[in-house]
Structure 1
Amino acid sequence: MLRKLLTVYENSVLFSERPDVPSEQLYLFYDQAADEWLSIPKKEISDIELHLLKTLYELVEWQSSAVSSRVNTWYEFLFLNGVLPSEKQDTSFRFIHFHLNGDDTDQKEMESALKGFFSDEAVFLWESQSKGVIIEEQKQISLSEEELLAISETLESDFYESVTFFIGKVHPFSEQLRAFFQEERELFQFALAKVHNSKIFSFERIFPAYLSARLPAEIKNMVPEAVFALFADDPEMFSTIKVFLETNLNASLTAKKLYIHRNTLQYRIDKFVEKTGIVLKDFNGAFIVFLACLLFEQKG
Structure 2
Amino acid sequence: MEKRKYAGLVLMEHLKQTWLYLTLVKIFGKQTVVVDEGKQRPNFAYFPVKDGEHILGWLGLPHSVLDEKSKQLIEVLVTKQPPLSNSGVGGEALYWRTFMKQDLRHWERQWDKLNYPADTRFGNIYFWIKTEQNTEELYPAVKEIVEGVLEEKSILVPYTGNLFVWVIPDYDQQRSLLADVVEGILDTIRSECMLDCLCYLGEAYPMPTPLQDHVHQELSYFRLAHDYQIKERVLYYRLLIPYLLLESLSKEERERMVDKLVGLVREDQELMHTIRVFLEQNLNVSETAKKLYIHRNSMQYRLDKFIEKTGIDIRQFKHAMTVYLALLAISRLD
The TM-score with structure 1 as length reference comes to: 0.72
Please say if residues 15 and 129 of structure 1, whose CA atoms lie closer than 8 Å, have aligned partners that are also in contact.
Answer: yes
Name which of 123, 128, 141 aligns with 2:155: 123
CA 298–14 in structure 1, closer or farther in 2 if over 3 Å, else same? closer
Q: Percent same amino acid among aligned pairs?
A: 25
Deviation at 1:173, TM superposition (A): 3.6
Please say if residues 122 and 168 of structure 2, whose CA atoms lie closer than 8 Å, have aligned partners that are also in contact.
Answer: yes
CA 155–269 in structure 1, closer or farther in 2 if over 3 Å, else same? farther
Deviation at 1:43, TM superposition (A): 5.2
Task: Choose between structure 1 and 2: higher helix proportion.
Answer: 2
Corresponding residue SS for 2:245: helix
CA 43–74 in structure 1, closer or farther in 2 if over 3 Å, else same? closer
Q: Distance in 1 between matches of 2:78 and 2:237?
A: 45
Name which of 55, 67, 75 aligns with 2:97: 75
Please say if residues 13 and 128 of structure 1, whose CA atoms lie closer than 8 Å, have aligned partners that are also in contact.
Answer: no
Cα deviation code 1:7-52 (max 9, x no counterpart): 9x98979679xxxxxxxxxxx9xx8xx9xxx85241549xx99993
Corresponding residue SS for 1:278: coil
Identify the residue that residue 53 of structure 2 maps to in structure 1: 42
Within the alignment, does 1:153 sit opposite 2:187 as a pair?
yes
Q: Distance in 2 between matches of 1:229 and 1:111?
A: 52
Q: Distance in 2 between matches of 1:266 and 1:146?
A: 36
- Tell which deviates more after alignment, 163-172 or 248-257: 248-257
Q: For this pair of structures, how many residues does the alignment match?
A: 269
Within the alignment, does 1:114 sit opposite 2:146 as a pair?
yes
Q: Distance in 2 between matches of 1:221 and 1:13?
A: 33
Corresponding residue SS for 1:232: coil
Q: 1:1-300 alignment to 2 at 5 Å?
A: 40-42=51-53, 44=55, 52-53=75-76, 57=80, 69-82=91-104, 83-84=107-108, 85-86=111-112, 87-104=116-133, 105=135, 106-107=137-138, 108-119=140-151, 121-137=153-169, 138=171, 139-141=173-175, 143-175=177-209, 177-225=211-259, 227-234=262-269, 236-251=270-285, 254-255=288-289, 262-300=296-334
Deviation at 1:157, TM superposition (A): 3.2
Deviation at 1:119, TM superposition (A): 4.5
Q: Distance in 2 between matches of 1:103 and 1:128?
A: 13
Q: Distance in 2 between matches of 1:116 and 1:258?
A: 41
Query: In the alignment, residue 97 of structure 1 is paired with which amino acid?
Result: Y
Query: In the alignment, residue 133 of structure 1 is paired with which amino acid?
Result: V
Please say if residues 187 and 207 of structure 1, whose CA atoms lie closer than 8 Å, have aligned partners that are also in contact.
Answer: no
Deviation at 1:254, TM superposition (A): 4.4
CA 133–264 in structure 1, closer or farther in 2 if over 3 Å, else same? farther
Q: Distance in 2 between matches of 1:144 and 1:42?
A: 34
CA 179–52 in structure 1, closer or farther in 2 if over 3 Å, else same? closer
Corresponding residue SS for 1:279: coil
Please say if residues 13 and 40 of structure 1, whose CA atoms lie closer than 8 Å, have aligned partners that are also in contact.
Answer: no
Structure 2: runs of 5+ lacking an equivalent: 1-7, 27-48, 57-70
Cα deviation code 1:175-224 (max 9, x no counterpart): 15543332211100121233232211111112321331341244223325
Structure 1: runs of 5+ lacking an equivalent: 1-5, 17-27
Corresponding residue SS for 1:210: helix
Q: Distance in 2 between matches of 1:157 and 1:264?
A: 41
Identify the residue that residue 23 of structure 1 maps to in structure 2: none
CA 203–252 in structure 1, closer or farther in 2 if over 3 Å, else same? farther
Corresponding residue SS for 1:220: helix
Please say if residues 149 and 181 of structure 2, whose CA atoms lie closer than 8 Å, have aligned partners that are also in contact.
Answer: no
- Tell which deviates more after alignment, 246-255 or 115-124: 246-255
Whose RCO is larger (CA < 8 A, sep 6+)? 2
Cα deviation code 1:104-142 (max 9, x no counterpart): 244122332233334562111122221121111224546
The TM-score with structure 2 as length reference comes to: 0.65
Q: Distance in 1 between matches of 2:120 and 2:17?
A: 32
Q: Distance in 2 between matches of 1:55 and 1:95?
A: 31
